Amino acid sequence: MYEAREALVVFTPSGRRGRFPVGTPVLEAARALGVDIDSVCGGRGLCGRCQVDLCEGHFAKHGVASWPDHLTAKSDTERAWETRRGPLRAGRRLSCSTQLLGDAVIDVPAMSQVYRQVVRKRAEVLDIALDPIVRLYYVAVPPPDMNVPASDLRRLKEALTREWSLDGLETDIRVIQQLQTALRQGDWGVTVAVHDDRRLIGVWPGFQSQVYGMAVDVGSTTIAAHLCHLQTGEVVASAGRMNPQIRYGEDLMSRVSYLMMNPGGEVAMTRSVREAINALTLALADEAGVAVETILEATVVGNPIMQSLVFGIDPVELGGAPFALATDEAIDGLWATEMDLVIHPNARVYGLPCIAGHVGADTSGMILSETPYLGEELMLLVDVGTNAEIVLGNRHRLLACSSPTGPAFEGAQISGGQRAAAGAIERVRIDPLTLEPRYRVIGCEQWSDEPGFAEAVAPHGVTGICGSGIIEVVAELYLAGIITPEGVVQGGLAARSERIVADGRTFSYVLHRDDSRTLAITQNDIRAIQLAKAALYAGIRLLMEQFGTQRVDHIRLAGAFGAHIDVKYAMILGLIPDCDLEHVTSAGNAAGTGARIALLSRKARREIEEVVRRVEKVETATEPRFQQHFVDAMAIPHRHDLFPQLSAHVSLPAITEETDNAVRRGRRRRRQRV
């Protein structure tokens, strides 16, 4: 047995070191040195969060020889924990129950660090330190004493100060209402939840080791929610459902119109979205096998109208100029019961800040997720929905706007359009010689010209065309020469292919035909896509013009639409400006990711609250240049803008004088907010 009076201990990865008397618990030494080791139970061997690894061998760098007998043997406390939770891995110990007997090098694994890193998806973005606003603390409270007249709450606070150095805590009345029962049921040991290091919001008898949070993205069409373990950052369950407000109107402005015509209707719309969130909450808790009472925090993002309705704010003022927000500040510290949410009654709800009347908290979430404000390179963020939210900038400057693209990219206003579901065409290729198409549908791996396709799609059939399919088919029609750059179906090609058919005074392209239905791309379908893509591109060009740039370095496409479209076809069609295709990528549900980051990091909340104040809002409705950009963008891919980087991958048809004159005459549309 190694014998010493004092032991030198070195902690990795922090590199902190110090000498301590033999017999000092490893956790106590770590705390004395400021080493980041997690613990909820206060060193009682209950939570198991303080696990560490002994590094064996001679470490010349540290001047330490570290061996197993330099620590005490496994204790009864550790064996009891293993009986409850399973064996510790080889070499791993509970630092609260392990004492120093000699020099040692101790590694603190990521799972045991309080401020562990949330791994981000891009190397150039700094990791986010996990620092949830709600923390759990187990504490032993002295029982009442006739000779020491102190209330249960006072003795609890004194114990928290003594064991956890938590001073001056405020207390929710609901905690006080539950405190005496919890103390006596827990035999004077309780777990408390502390919000933002300053307020007691929960109390449980005995030891409570798990606490969760929920991040919610409230879209006009769908609501998505993620249940996260606040101590690890892990997403333990995810779910989504349609926004029931759709019965009041398919788009945002129709819902605002409903409110204008039905005073008090905002109450019903708020109730419907909160009921949907509650249904998601119950589904998440059931999937993860946790009690809803363990959900202590929620974060919410949404466009300005959705954000207003979730928090019970009448959004009527957003229905017309000047599109005034009730607040552009974060909504912080709201009780869950004030929103009728079925989580812990003392849970708090945080809403990310909106930026302007048509640029909401979902855009703030996207900015927080993608962090354009940290880099030198110019990043373009695009979240395509009924409105497109667009952000352009870098660490020096950020601009944002909202552009009314309409629902065409989601399948609405398209004759055969539908949402992404089994049977929907999602990929299209057209042979430029034969003008024959081949396509893939959701739910089938084969292309339509491959053996076994008919049998594979038989259960659901070919039912329509979704957003990604619409983008590809119009782009392929252009590449094959079936439509001109101004978007006109060339009827003269009917002599070459039976796919080109007369449709009144115009022509259509038959994409699919079977015994049950015919799916054709009509001239009106192409016009709807042109209008939508022109509005999107015009918003982007307006931001680029005001930024003073003719190029962007990176493009990130957010949302479900951005996750499924082929970026090459998006650029061929002219949705986005020319860029290196390798630098055009999907950001997934960036708004929801931003909500999760805000859930897991107090610093991130303060960061985005400061960043959005620096965002310059560009109002497309009042900018005179928007209309000219819109007219120019009606051409495919564009009337003037060149696409040299795209041309390196695709042979684009040239824009002729006839095309230029047709576009110049324009197809101006009456702009409206949607």
366-413 confidence digits (pLDDT tens): 999 999 999 999 999 999 877 789 999 999 999 999 988 877 777 667
Strands (E), 331-387: 331-335, 348-351, 379-384
How many Å is the Cα radius of gyration of the chain?
30
Percent of the chain topping pLDDT 70: 93
Residues of the chain by 3-state class (helix, strand, coil), percent to 5: 35, 25, 40
pLDDT mean over 531-553: 95
pLDDT attached to residue 671: 39
pLDDT attached to residue 585: 92
The set of residues, in sequence order, having a beta carbon less than 8 Å from that of 605 and lying 6+ positions away, is: 133, 330, 350, 352, 598
> Residues in the chain, how many?
674
pLDDT attached to residue 666: 42
In tens, the pLDDT along 103-116 reads 999 988 877 877 65
pLDDT mean over 246-254: 75
Alpha-carbon dihedral sign for residues 400, 402, 407, 408: negative
Q: The whole model's pTM is what?
A: 0.82
A 10 A CB-CB count for 197 gives 12
Which range, of 95-109, 270-284, 344-358, 652-666, averages the lowest pLDDT? Answer: 652-666
Split at pLDDT 50, 70, 90, the class of 673 is very low
Does the pLDDT at position 134 exceed 90? yes
Task: Go through the domains of the chain in sequence order and give each one's CATH number.
Answer: 6-112 (3.10.20.30), 129-205 (3.10.20.880), 212-351 (3.30.420.480), 367-407+529-653 (3.30.420), 429-473+488-521 (no CATH)
pLDDT attached to residue 535: 93
Distance from C-alpha of 277 to C-alpha of 273, rounded to nearest angstrom: 6
Split at pLDDT 50, 70, 90, the class of 125 is very low
Split at pLDDT 50, 70, 90, the class of 564 is confident
pLDDT attached to residue 524: 94
Residue 215: strand pairing partners: 226, 299
Does the pLDDT at position 117 exceed 70? no
DSSP string, 133-170: SEEEEEEE-PPPBTTB---HHHHHHHHHHHHH---S-E
Does the pLDDT at position 674 exceed 60? no
In tens, the pLDDT along 649-666 reads 888 886 555 444 444 444
* Contact assessment for residue 537 and residue 403, using Cβ atoms and an 8 Å cutoff: no
pLDDT mean over 203-227: 92
pLDDT mean over 58-74: 89
Amino acid letter, 23 = G
Given the structure tokens 């299209």, which residue do they identify?
428
pLDDT mean over 445-455: 93
Judged by phi (left if over 0) then psi (alpha if -120 to 50, else beta), residue 103 lies in beta
In tens, the pLDDT along 322-350 reads 888 999 999 998 999 999 999 999 999 99
pLDDT mean over 113-130: 54
Does the pLDDT at position 122 exceed 60? no
Distance of CA 15 to the CA centre of its chain: 35
In tens, the pLDDT along 176-207 reads 999 999 999 999 999 999 999 999 999 999 99
* Contact assessment for residue 596 and residue 571, using Cβ atoms and an 8 Å cutoff: no
Amino acid letter, 661 = N
Does the pLDDT at position 126 exceed 50? no
- Of 215-219, 258-262, 619-623, give the range with the top mean pLDDT: 215-219
Split at pLDDT 50, 70, 90, the class of 236 is very high
- Of 41-45, 444-448, 559-563, give the range with the top mean pLDDT: 444-448
Does the pLDDT at position 546 exceed 50? yes
In tens, the pLDDT along 508-526 reads 999 999 888 899 999 999 9
The torsion of the CA quartet 340, 343, 344, 349, rounded to 10 degrees, works out to: -70
Burial 91-108 (b: 16+ CB within 10 A, else e): ebbbbbbbbbbbbbbbbb
Burial class (CB in 10 A: 0-12, 13-18, 19+), 673: buried
Structure tokens given for 670: 């009456």
Average pLDDT, the chain: 88
Percent of the chain topping pLDDT 90: 64
pLDDT attached to residue 149: 86
